[in-house]
Amino acid sequence: MLIIKFNAASLGHFLTSILLKTTSPIPALEYGQIIYPQVLHTGSYTDQHDPLFLKRQTQQYFAITHNNPDFNEWISTLKNNKKIYIDLDSCFVECRLNYIIKLSDWNKKLNNYAVINSWKNFKNPVACDDARRIVRLHQGLEQKIKCNIDEDIVFKFKNFYVEDMNIWIENFIELGKKLSISLDKNYLQRWFECFKVGQKPIIERAKLLYECIENKKFTIDLDENEKGIIIGYDAVTNNIDDPAYFIQKYYEFSKNLY
């Protein structure tokens, strides 16, 4: 059995869809909405004492997809399984955009909490919140699901966003070899094409944000979360984690919109 460990918005369900090989490649933004009977997903349950989970865990599965921190202890007890960890070490723009777009209700709750609680006495609370989150992502502090270097097979999140199709395919073939799963090049080519279609809103928006990061400017159509992402990258570059700095950069990047 495979155990696929990933943090929210790092495409664990997409990777599972590829490895299952039970469905034809399809373009979609959120593969977590597809129900696979062969897969047990920890994120579907409150904790390991959830009656529904206790009923399902006795079954045999192809894979367990794990992104619920409340199951960390239970996952650690599972032995003689191949564990894959999606290492969220880069492409934080794409990760945050996936979260903002696909988990919009949760993101609204985060924004409301920033306004009412954590950043209530600051200007631009939502932007400050996301700037701090980008800093913490670079520090590895936002990742609730951790890698076990002694057990986990690491698959880097940035592998999903490789632009060269041949390199993209080779990365998945190499992962398949480590898992004793044979992945056909033609099969992976179709998945590559579907990924580009499904992720088009993320890829195009990420391109804009990276341009803003490079130019140290906002565009007129950015929302507060996106502005925070840009500020956060600037803060990381300058090794600064200070609310006053976030607010200062918000003002500076807002001048001369393009």
In tens digits, the chain (258 residues) has pLDDT values of 999 999 999 999 999 999 999 888 999 999 998 989 999 999 999 999 999 999 888 788 999 999 999 999 999 999 889 999 999 999 999 999 999 999 999 999 999 999 999 999 999 999 999 999 999 999 999 999 999 999 999 999 999 999 999 999 999 999 999 999 999 999 999 999 999 999 999 999 999 999 999 999 999 999 999 999 999 999 999 999 999 999 999 999 999 777
* Domains along the chain with CATH numbers: 2-254 (3.40.50)
Residues 253 and 131 sit within 8 Å (Cβ to Cβ):
no
Give the other-Cβ count within 10 Å of 11's Cβ. 25
β partners of residue 17: none
Say if pTM beats, i.e. exceeds, 0.85: yes
Q: Which residue has the tokens 């192809």?
A: 62
One-letter amino acid at 144 equals K
